[in-house]
């Protein structure tokens, strides 16, 4: 009877392995297949297996089954019991791929790429097509999440010929999304392969200013590359561009305050806007007609829209005032598409409303992005006390923590006299001094001890005025924290050209508008010759006015191409799903009283 049971168990194991494994290859080894058993049955059979290889193969199958059932914790637990070094190459590839997929569920792209660097991956091309596709797909996802956009596109282009049906279509669109997200200086075709074709298509689209020019560039590219996958099947966002190009913009209403507390802001925006308009005229374009409306004298938004509609206005730019933007966002719909020059707090807005402004929250997110790109993980934050500081901190913290960063300390800055104490508390210097005094008491004599700061702060996120920043950086030096990098919003930069002021902030990194970092921009030169104040802090508003003009004909384009950007003078502009224009900014640092531009990182 016992002999019969043993024979039955052996037959069950053989049946399970037959269901789980592909036909064996002498050097590569067997690959797991879809099992005819539950996770529990597979693990039971693994525990009673006669050979380590059979046990490993069954556990590998069980781990994969748990992953497919979205039980990622259990999948990781089972996979950890599989000794990778004892597996055959095919199984090592399979295990490494699964480990990478599990790492991606934890938002750990670097761990995924480490798993995919196993030597067995050199034999991936010898494995079945399904395994090649699976491995290269997770590699592409990990590279993209790690900011290696071009490498991710290359991985997807590699597997494109192996795919069919919906998988092929999705991969095709993913390739374009990756290529379109690359900065222009990385779009350098080097040959006649598919990757070069994708790069040259993106370069053609990005190098063309208007929708009409983009459409012509796409048509020319298709004629030159008739057999390229993107010519045979134009990516969907480029199909949408064709539809948008048939709706030119001929009349714009500019709705800005000419009186009251925001009159100077409105004036700078208007002058920047019109400078871009005249530049377009000089370039031989046919710019739209501009109608001016004074929002400070507005009695009714409904009356304004009626007048604008009657005169044939197709787009409203403005208002600037937050209460008016709030009114617009509360409506179910608007009679004319509107680009407000401020942001509402509402999550729900009418489909016709777009929003654009110099939001401090954008800059807080920009600090988080840059610090991540620089390989940092643990931040301390210093922000002003009050509602503005709370908003900026919230934006930084949400973005930073959502992408795996940690905030290890926060100080809200108010009175200068308290700064030294606050920084000492942030870096736990008082605890260090207390330990030294305790040691003195214990041994009954003087101890030569320099206070030591906590070591878990990799950088400081700083949102502060120039005056506050001038006090904070020297205080950090005094409190033994002068070596901790400081990443700041543009608010630390007064743009006055006062070298003495900048000396006190030596080493501080900050994001800033391209307008204030590039004195050689042709339009900036024209504007500052007429309005010298545009060289200073007001320059940010002139830049926003220029960008409002450049955004006007391209709102539909940014909506249709979620990964596309406009290289503006207030930043690199894109649009979020709520139709809010977001800015990414270039970086500079203070060096010996001068402003030094820092190299850009990938978006």
pLDDT at 325: 95
Q: Are 528 and 507 in contact (CB under 8 A)?
A: no
Q: Can you tell me the distance from the alpha carbon of 241 to that of 560, in angstroms, rounded to the nearest whole number?
A: 7
pLDDT at 67: 93
Nearest to 276 by CA among 492, 522, 100: 522
**Domain 2-146 sits in CATH 1.25.40.10:** yes
**354-378 pLDDT tens trace:** 999 998 999 999 999 999 999 999 9
Q: Can you tell me the distance from the alpha carbon of 429 to that of 413, in angstroms, rounded to the nearest whole number?
A: 18
Q: Can you tell me the distance from the alpha carbon of 396 to that of 561, in angstroms, rounded to the nearest whole number?
A: 26
Q: List Cβ neighbours of 295 (8 Å cut-off, separation of 6 or more).
A: 255, 256, 257, 266, 318, 319, 320, 321, 324
Average pLDDT, the chain: 85
Q: Are 363 and 487 in contact (CB under 8 A)?
A: no
Q: Can you tell me the distance from the alpha carbon of 590 to that of 598, in angstroms, rounded to the nearest whole number?
A: 10
**Domain 251-355+521-584 sits in CATH 3.50.50.60:** no
In three-state secondary structure terms, 496 is coil
Q: Average pLDDT for residues 145-150, to the nearest whole number?
A: 90
pLDDT at 599: 85
Quickly list DSSP for 388-439.
HHHHHHHHHHHHHHHTT-EEEEEEEE--GGGHHHHHHHHTTHHHHHHHHHHH
Domains 2-146 and 361-512+585-597 equal at CATH topology level: no
The ranges assigned to domains in the chain are 2-146, 251-355+521-584, 361-512+585-597
DSSP 354: E
Q: Can you tell me the distance from the alpha carbon of 563 to that of 120, in angstroms, rounded to the nearest whole number?
A: 35
Q: Can you tell me the distance from the alpha carbon of 29 to that of 23, in angstroms, rounded to the nearest whole number?
A: 9
pLDDT at 285: 80
Q: Can you tell me the distance from the alpha carbon of 189 to that of 181, in angstroms, rounded to the nearest whole number?
A: 16
**392-448 pLDDT tens trace:** 999 999 999 999 999 998 988 876 556 667 766 766 644 544 444 443 444 444 434
Can you read off the two tokens belonging to residue 57?
Answer: 């193969």
pLDDT at 539: 95
Whether residue 303 is predicted with pLDDT greater than 50 in this model: the reply is yes
**179-217 pLDDT tens trace:** 988 877 788 888 778 999 999 999 888 777 667 788 889
Assigned architecture for domain 361-512+585-597: 3-Layer(aba) Sandwich (3.40)
Cite the beta strand spans of 136-271 per DSSP E.
Answer: 251-256
Q: State pTM to two decimals.
A: 0.66
Q: What is the 3-state secondary structure (H, E, C) of 464-494?
A: CCHHHHHHHHHHHHHCCCCCCCEEECHHHCC
pLDDT at 592: 87
């Amino acid at each position: 009877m016992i002999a019969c049971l043993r024979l039955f168990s052996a037959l069950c194991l053989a049946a399970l392995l037959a269901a789980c494994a592909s036909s064996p290859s002498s050097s590569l080894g067997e690959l797991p297949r879809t099992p005819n058993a539950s996770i529990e049955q597979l693990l039971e059979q693994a525990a009673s297996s006669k050979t380590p290889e059979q046990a490993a193969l069954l556990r590998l199958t069980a781990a994969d089954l748990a992953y497919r059932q979205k039980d990622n914790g259990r999948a990781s637990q089972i996979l950890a019991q599989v000794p990778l070094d004892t597996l055959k190459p095919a199984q090592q590839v399979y295990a490494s791929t699964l480990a990478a997929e599990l790492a991606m569920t934890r938002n750990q792209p670097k761990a995924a790429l480490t798993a995919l660097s196993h030597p067995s991956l050199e034999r991936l091309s010898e494995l079945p097509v399904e395994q090649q596709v699976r491995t290269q797909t997770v590699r592409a996802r990990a590279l993209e999440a790690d900011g290696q956009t071009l490498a991710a596109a290359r991985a997807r282009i590699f597997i494109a010929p192996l795919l069919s049906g919906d998988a092929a279509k999705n991969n095709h669109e993913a390739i374009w999304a990756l290529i379109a997200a690359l900065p222009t200086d990385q779009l350098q075709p080097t040959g006649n392969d598919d990757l070069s074709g994708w790069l040259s298509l993106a370069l053609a689209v990005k190098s063309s200013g208007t929708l009409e020019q983009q459409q012509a560039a796409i048509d020319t590219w298709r004629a030159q590359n008739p057999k390229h996958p993107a010519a045979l099947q134009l990516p969907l966002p480029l199909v949408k561009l064709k539809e948008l190009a048939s709706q030119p913009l001929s009349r714009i209403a500019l709705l800005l305050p000419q009186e009251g507390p925001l009159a100077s802001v409105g004036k700078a925006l208007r002058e920047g806007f019109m400078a871009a308009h005249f530049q377009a005229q000089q370039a031989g374009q046919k710019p739209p007609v501009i109608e001016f409306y004074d929002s400070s004298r507005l009695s009714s938004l409904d009356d304004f829209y009626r007048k604008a509609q009657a005169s044939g206005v197709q787009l409203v730019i403005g208002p600037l005032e937050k209460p008016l933007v709030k009114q617009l966002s509360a409506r179910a719909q608007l009679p004319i598409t509107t680009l407000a020059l401020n942001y509402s707090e509402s999550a729900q807005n009418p489909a016709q409303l777009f929003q654009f402004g110099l939001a401090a929250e954008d800059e807080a997110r920009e600090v988080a992005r840059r610090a991540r790109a620089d390989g940092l993980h643990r931040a301390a934050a210093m922000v002003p006390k009050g509602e503005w500081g709370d908003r900026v901190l919230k934006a930084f913290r949400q973005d930073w923590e959502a992408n795996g960063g940690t905030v290890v300390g926060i100080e809200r800055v108010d009175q200068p006299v308290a700064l030294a104490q606050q920084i000492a508390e942030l870096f736990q210097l008082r605890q260090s001094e207390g330990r030294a005094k305790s040691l003195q008491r214990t041994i009954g004599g003087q101890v030569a001890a320099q206070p030591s700061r906590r070591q878990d702060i990799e950088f400081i996120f700083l949102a502060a005025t120039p005056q506050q920043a001038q006090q904070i950086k020297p205080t950090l030096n005094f409190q033994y924290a002068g070596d901790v990098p400081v990443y700041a919003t543009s608010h630390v930069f007064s743009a006055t050209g006062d070298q003495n002021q900048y000396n006190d902030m030596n080493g501080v990194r900050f994001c800033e508008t391209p307008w204030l970092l590039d004195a050689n921009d042709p339009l900036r030169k024209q504007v500052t010759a007429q309005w010298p104040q545009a060289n200073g802090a007001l320059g940010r508003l002139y830049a926003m006015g220029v960008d409002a003009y450049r955004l006007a004909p391209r709102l539909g384009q940014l909506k249709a191409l979620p990964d596309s950007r406009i290289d503006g003078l207030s930043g690199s502009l894109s649009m979020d799903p709520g139709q809010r224009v977001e800015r990414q900014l270039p970086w500079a640092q203070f060096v010996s009283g001068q402003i030094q531009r820092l190299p850009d990182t990938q978006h």
